[in-house]
Amino acid sequence: MKPGCVVIGGGGHATMVLEALRLQGKVRIVGVTDPDRGRKSVAGVPVLGDDGILDQARRLKIRCFSVGVGSVGDNRPRAQLYRRAIESGLKPVQAIHPSAVVSPRATVGPGTMIFPRAVVNPGSELGANVIVNSAAVVEHDVRIADHAHVCPGAVLCGGVHVGEGAFIGAGAVVIQGVRIGAWAVVAAGAVVHKDVPEGGRVAGIPARPMGKKST
């Protein structure tokens, strides 16, 4: 029998995770956890309750999980939920949409999700609980650390490094070899041609620290 799986969070991102999991067909989706008591089901999947359910996983025959919270702009909640589920004894599952193109020479970490039409090219290494959102391009030899989120349509050119928990906004372009520090934020549509320090926040073309006027 396929292992029972819970998706943590029941909003828009969860609907994408649920679809990828269904199409992959490797797990039996048991339910969703969400603190919103008004939410009874998500994409036809029952909401089981809040995250306290994770401690009852064995009784409910749940063995694995996927973080279904997207947390735009701050990946810390996603990282916390991932750790919480691991502490509850659950195993992270990957959610890779069948239309994504993932090189057999790329490595993909536990709990990582790759959405429709995304591309992950050879030599790339993706950590745990990473999101490569719809139609994002992760070129060759890119490294993406745990909990980072590459939003829809963003492009990471060859050899880019993305630090833990970093956020790359929709449609942003990170030029070859640039390093994005841990927990940094790259705004939507930015073109990043220089390294961004840990916790840095950049926007614009070319990207500059947020709040500073271009010269």
- CB of 84: closest distance to ligand JB3 in angstroms? 8
Minimum separation from the CB atom of position 2 to ligand JB3 (A): 22
Among positions 130, 133, 148, 200, the unique one binding ligand JB3 when judged by CB under 6 A:
133
> Exactly one of 72, 175, 188, 210 binds ligand JB3 (CB under 6 A); which one?
72
Helix, strand or coil for residue 104?
coil
Binding pattern for the stretch 95-124 against ligand JB3, x by CB under 6 A and - elsewhere: ------------------------------
Q: Is 1 exposed, middle or buried (0-12, 13-18, 19+ CB in 10 A)?
A: exposed
User: Is 140 noted as a catalytic residue in this protein?
Assistant: yes
- Dihedral sign of CA atoms 117, 120, 63, 89 in order: negative
Work out whether 152 is an interface residue with ligand JB3 (CB under 6 A).
yes
Which residue number, 4 or 70, has a Cβ lying nearer to ligand JB3? 70
Q: Which of 140, 147, 149, 193 is catalytic?
A: 140
Counting Cβ atoms within 10 Å, is residue 99 exposed (0-12), middle (13-18) or buried (19+)?
middle
Considering the complex, what minimum distance in angstroms separates the CB of residue 35 from ligand JB3? Answer: 5
Among 116, 141, 117, 114, CA closest to 130: 114
Subset of 5-64 contacting ligand JB3 (CB under 6 A): 8-14, 33-36, 39, 51
Distances (CA, A) of 87 to 55, 64, 65: 9, 12, 12
HSE, side-chain direction, 13 A CA sphere, residue 131: 32
- Phi first, then psi, for residue 82 (nearest 5°) are -60, -50
Catalytic sites, residue numbers:
140
Which residues are at the interface with ligand JB3 (CB under 6 A)? Answer: 8-14, 33-36, 39, 51, 69-72, 81, 133, 152
